[in-house]
Amino acid sequence: MEGSDRGAWALVGVLTGAAGLATSHLTAGLGGTTESPVVAVAEQVIRLAPGGATEQAIDALGHADKPVLVAGILLVLAAVFAGLGVLAARRRAAAVAGFTVVALVGLAAVVAQPGDPVAPVLALAVGYLTWLAVLPLLARPLEDLAPDIADGVPVGEPWERSGASDRRTFLVRVGLVAAAAALTTYGGTLAGRGRRAVEEARRRLTLAGVTRPRPDPATAAGVPGQPPWQTPNGEFYLIDTTIVPPAVDPADWRLRIHGMVDRELELTFDDLLERQRTEAWVTLACVSNEVGGDLVGNAWWSGVRIAPLLEEAGVQEGADGVLQTSDDGWTCLTPLEVLTDDRDALLAVAMNGEPLPVEHGFPVRTVVPGLYGYVSATKWVVDLEVTTFDDAQGYWTDKGWSAHGPVKLASRIDVPRSGAEVAAGEVVLAGVAWQQHTGVERVEVSVDGGAWTATTLAAEPTVDAWVHWRHAVELDPGEHNVRVRATSRDGEVQTGARVDPAPDGATGWHRVDFTVA
């Protein structure tokens, strides 16, 4: 290949690569993803690098470690793309395969990231499709310049030999792709700026008075395969109506408390942090959770109780609800009573000892023990309007869900899993049970339709959190099943009547079928 030719093909590779990185960057920005796929790769490198090497690099580079790493990855990518361009001159399919490999490396890094992978995987897919589209767009005009082949040997020097108009087609496309890639990258940076700024603000935030969770070890039934009593943030279920989570800078956050009150209040984030801090274990559950489902989690929440704030505002006679509104306009109507009684209904700023993750409502959300999330747990909360159930309703109530959503008594079997095969002899059954703010008195299991038998409960440090249970049984080889039911501290026995989640929460006993080998 002629030198100028090879240069042109390398340019094809680099521009193709850049175009795909640009569209994936834009998709990531529009999707509210924290970072572009390239940054995900950088973070994977940091994670996979031997601890010492990472520390040395951070030592040497200070906080510039990530930008430097990203720049390094971009340089490596540029070289790879140039190589793939040169490869495309002879074997286009091999170049496409090369781009596919690069995309798969990105995919591996992206799915290894904590958090929801959908948006970053979409970003990667868009980038990959861009590669597939742009490569022929640039390669074709260049192929038209290719030298004649005589007896298997190229004749002449194509770049010099070709007509000016052929070269112009190629150069015009190069210019267009370069301009589009630059614009798209700029757009992606603009689109992602809000989220990145908020992530940065979150990283910088130090919340005085927020302590690390220290769950009592006795809360764990200690059965392998059982989800932990404290749900880590990265494993906590996510439910909301947003596509892109709101990016709310704590510096801009305001909470307005108004409506049927004597004195309107408006609080900044700093105002809120000046109030007395309360920390509590609270299990949050979604009304959509099916029997046996996993839309439920238990965390250590730090924040400020809502009751004293409402008292300060002076709630007027006749009010019976508080309409909560989030930054993105989602609403829920919460009974006034649960916000003013002695429970820890919180404006939470931290989850498991860290500032709230953006997806979980950064910088402030509400958490109310004993109610489903859809009537109480507003993420990105910015407005509390004291009102009545006659005058207002929340987002989901408007769509046919019940106006009131107290959590229903529930229990779940986590071990063994449905369809599992376990060893004969002593079989350990384990799970959780919850009825926040009432508490669980007893959990019983029925094996193969037999009598209800009490299980052993782990420690239940608060009635606002779920409780682990375990039970060991001797079982012969063959097919078996187990059902579970809880009894609350009020004496209510969990009903076996199967009811769907709509309109106010599922009921029924969870059953697991398994095989003893």
Ligand X SMILES: Nc1nc2c(c(=O)[nH]1)N[C@H]1C(S)=C(S)[C@@H](COP(=O)(O)O)O[C@H]1N2
Residue placing its CB nearer to ligand X in the complex, 170 or 330: 330
Of 330, 434, 469, 509, the one binding ligand X (CB under 6 A) is 330
Residue placing its CB nearer to Mo ion in the complex, 120 or 394: 394
Full strand arrangement of the beta sheet holding 254-259: 265-268, 254-259, 381-387, 321-326, 331-335
Helix, strand or coil, per DSSP, at residue 149: strand
Residue placing its CB nearer to ligand X in the complex, 14 or 287: 287
Instruction: List C-alpha distances in Å: 217 to 214, 297, 411, 459.
Output: 9, 17, 21, 8
326: contact with ligand X by CB under 6 A:
yes
Q: Total residues contacting ligand X (rule CB under 6 A)?
A: 18
Tell the smallest beta-carbon distance from residue 402 to Mo ion (Å).
12
- Side chain identity at 112, as an amino acid letter? A
Helix (H) or strand (E) holding 303: strand 296-305
244: contact with ligand X by CB under 6 A:
no
By CB under 5 A, the residues from 3 to 32 that bind Mo ion are none
Given a contact cutoff of 8 angstroms between Cβ atoms, the answer to whether 366 and 339 are in contact is: no
Helix, strand or coil, per DSSP, at residue 516: strand
Residue placing its CB nearer to Mo ion in the complex, 122 or 239: 239
Given a contact cutoff of 8 angstroms between Cβ atoms, the answer to whether 44 and 111 are in contact is: no
452: contact with ligand X by CB under 6 A:
no
Tell the smallest beta-carbon distance from residue 377 to Mo ion (Å).
8
Residue placing its CB nearer to ligand X in the complex, 448 or 500: 500
Helix, strand or coil, per DSSP, at residue 150: strand
441: contact with ligand X by CB under 6 A:
no
Residue placing its CB nearer to ligand X in the complex, 241 or 453: 241
Helix, strand or coil, per DSSP, at residue 400: coil
Given a contact cutoff of 8 angstroms between Cβ atoms, the answer to whether 320 and 336 are in contact is: yes
By CB under 6 A, the residues from 394 to 433 that bind ligand X are none
237: contact with ligand X by CB under 6 A:
yes
**What residues does 512 pair with on adjacent strands?**
482
Of 69, 223, 286, 512, the one binding Mo ion (CB under 5 A) is 286
Stretch that binds ligand X, among 5-13, 83-91, 95-103, 376-384 (CB under 6 A): 376-384
Residue of 372, 119, 109 whose CA lies nearest to 245:
119
Stretch that binds ligand X, among 137-145, 221-229, 238-246, 336-344 (CB under 6 A): 238-246
Residue placing its CB nearer to ligand X in the complex, 237 or 452: 237
Residue of 443, 461, 462, 463 whose CA lies nearest to 453:
443
Question: What secondary structure letter does DSSP report for 284?
Answer: E
By CB under 5 A, the residues from 234 to 253 that bind Mo ion are 239
Using DSSP bridges, classify how beta strands 254-259 and 265-268 pair: parallel, antiparallel or unpaired. Answer: antiparallel
360: contact with ligand X by CB under 6 A:
yes
Cβ partners under 8 Å of residue 463, min gap 6 = 436, 437, 438, 439, 489
Stretch that binds ligand X, among 58-66, 76-84, 119-127, 235-243 (CB under 6 A): 235-243
Interaction partner, residue 128 (ligand X, Mo ion, none; CB < 5-8 Å by kind)? none
373: contact with Mo ion by CB under 5 A:
yes
Cβ partners under 8 Å of residue 11, min gap 6 = 82, 85, 174
Of 100, 211, 241, 418, the one binding ligand X (CB under 6 A) is 241
369: contact with Mo ion by CB under 5 A:
no
Given a contact cutoff of 8 angstroms between Cβ atoms, the answer to whether 433 and 403 are in contact is: no
**Tokens 């091999």 sit on residue:** 94
Residue placing its CB nearer to ligand X in the complex, 238 or 307: 238
Using CB under 6 A as the criterion, which residues of the chain lie in contact with ligand X when the complex forms?
A: 236-241, 284, 286, 326, 328, 330, 360, 373-374, 377-380
Using CB under 5 A as the criterion, which residues of the chain lie in contact with Mo ion when the complex forms?
A: 239, 286, 373-374
